[in-house]
Amino acid sequence: MTTAAPLAPFIAHTADHATVHIDLGERSYPIRIGAGLLGETSTYQGLPKARSALIVTNTTVAPLYLQQVRTALAAQYAQVHVVELPDGEAHKDWQTLNLIFDGLLQQGCDRKTLLFALGGGVIGDMTGFAAASYMRGVPFVQLPTTLLSQVDSSVGGKTAINHPLGKNMIGAFYQPQLVLCDLASLDTLPVRELSAGLAEVIKYGPIADMAFFDWLEANIDLLRSGDRQAMAQAVKRSVEIKAWVVSQDEKEAGLRAVLNFGHTFGHAIEAGMGYGVWLHGEGVGAGMVMAAHLSQELGLVDAAFVARLTRLIERAGLPTKGAMLDAKDNAGAYLEHMRVDKKAEAGEIRFVLIDGPGKAVMRSAPDALVRQVIDRCCG
């Protein structure tokens, strides 16, 4: 990642609360990290003035956090409306997105209405897309309640829904006004969801910061146990790296694409298996192993690095083997899905690979070599 301004060095910290700023000129905003933020009225001060707010959440998150957020917002907005969506990646589609528009229109929401995305990555992506589209753009706030959404999808303004032929293929770049990462919300995460979030934490080491990777190796057991101090450290550093990348390449013209390490293979798994069968982070976990093997085949890293990354992904409770998408031609099924990946150019698949530990690069590779890697890493 030598094309970017230097990334601040990794320094372990013990602070309970932190703020990371993402620098995008007039679209800049803070990412606040700490425990108990969702229910604090003061955390919502400074947002644009409006008559009404609309909270978008889902059937799983609503019973846990909706009331405290609604109460906190009621101190600032005369009307606080709610749209509750079904839970899961399988519902990240046009039909569910329209439920948000239905709510906005039925309540007579105007162009100053603020949307609040209360939930994981699916809720954040759909709420952001709705905000970008409603009346050609209304402000919104990210309230991510999963580890994956706190360290990745809530930061950077990517919004989208899925299409049966490809993940996140329909969407817009649209930045939030604020991101609140309430660490207390991670206490209610199922074990599988927590591990899925760790995939997006782990990826930042190989692509940008091997000192952070070293720290993750030493603290992965604490993270899996939900240790609050370890979580604060992991979320803060992940957000710092993502904010650093996005501030230099907001709309993924080049550098930002490296944040998709493991995602080309992972998205193929999600689409090929059917959305929701594998969690996004599970696909990314196996996808990082596959991308590491491809990096090794191209002479960019050695076998020791591949083994080291694979061990950490396994210790995080994530799959290290890709799914079988087609019994007759599994590699062919992967290639078919990957050709519609957003990073593909003129039908040529572009992979995020590791060009030495701590540095990512975009490269293509011969189909025959990709097939070998898929055959080795699946099953």
Reported as a single tens digit per residue, the pLDDT across 31-60 is: 999 999 999 999 998 999 999 999 999 999
pLDDT for the residue 342: 73
Known catalytic membership, residue 242: yes
Known catalytic membership, residue 112: no
Who wins on pLDDT, 114 or 13?
A: 114
- Closest by CA to 269, choosing from 312, 333, 329, 198, is 333
Grade residue 202 by pLDDT with cuts at 50, 70 and 90.
very high
Which of the four CATH numbers 3.40.50.720, 3.20.20.70, 1.10.40.30, 1.20.1090.10 does domain 191-377 have?
1.20.1090.10
Known catalytic membership, residue 270: no
pLDDT for the residue 361: 95
Whole-number average pLDDT of the chain: 94
Which of the four CATH numbers 3.30.1330.40, 3.30.420.40, 3.40.50.620, 3.40.50.1970 does domain 18-188 have?
3.40.50.1970
Average pLDDT over residues 257-270: 95
- Closest by CA to 189, choosing from 47, 60, 336, 39, is 60
Is the model's pLDDT at 324 over the cut of 80? yes
Annotated catalytic residue within 256, 293, 337, 350:
256
- How many angstroms separate the CA atoms of 234 and 13, rounded? 10
Give tens-digit pLDDT for 63-101. 999 999 999 999 999 999 999 999 999 999 999 999 999
pLDDT for the residue 122: 96
* C-alpha dihedral, 264 to 375 to 192 to 57, nearest 10°: 30
Distances (CA, A) of 204 to 34, 198, 320, 321, 338: 21, 10, 17, 20, 22
- How many angstroms separate the CA atoms of 349 and 297, rounded? 16
Q: How many residues does the chain have?
A: 379
Known catalytic membership, residue 252: yes
- How many angstroms separate the CA atoms of 320 and 291, rounded? 11
Annotated catalytic residue within 91, 92, 158, 350:
158
Give tens-digit pLDDT for 125-141. 999 999 999 999 999 99
Encoding tokens for residue 41? 């009225």
Annotated catalytic residue within 263, 293, 337, 342:
263
Annotated catalytic residue within 58, 162, 168, 260:
260
Segments making up each domain of the chain, as ranges: 18-188, 191-377
pLDDT for the residue 9: 79
Encoding tokens for residue 152? 């990745």
pLDDT for the residue 1: 39
pLDDT for the residue 2: 38
pTM: 0.92
Give the residue carrying structure tokens 């799983």: 60
Same topology between domain 18-188 and domain 191-377: no
Known catalytic membership, residue 163: no
Distances (CA, A) of 60 to 85, 94, 188, 329: 9, 20, 11, 37
Annotated catalytic residue within 81, 242, 293, 337:
242
> Coil, strand or helix: which one is 369?
helix
Annotated catalytic residue within 89, 200, 270, 297:
200
pLDDT for the residue 6: 75
DSSP string, 125-164: HHHHHHHHHGGG---EEEEE-SHHIIIIITSS-EEEEEET
Annotated catalytic residue within 89, 193, 250, 252:
252
Is the model's pLDDT at 367 over the cut of 50? yes
* Percent of the chain with pLDDT strictly greater than 70: 98
pLDDT for the residue 255: 87
pLDDT for the residue 14: 67
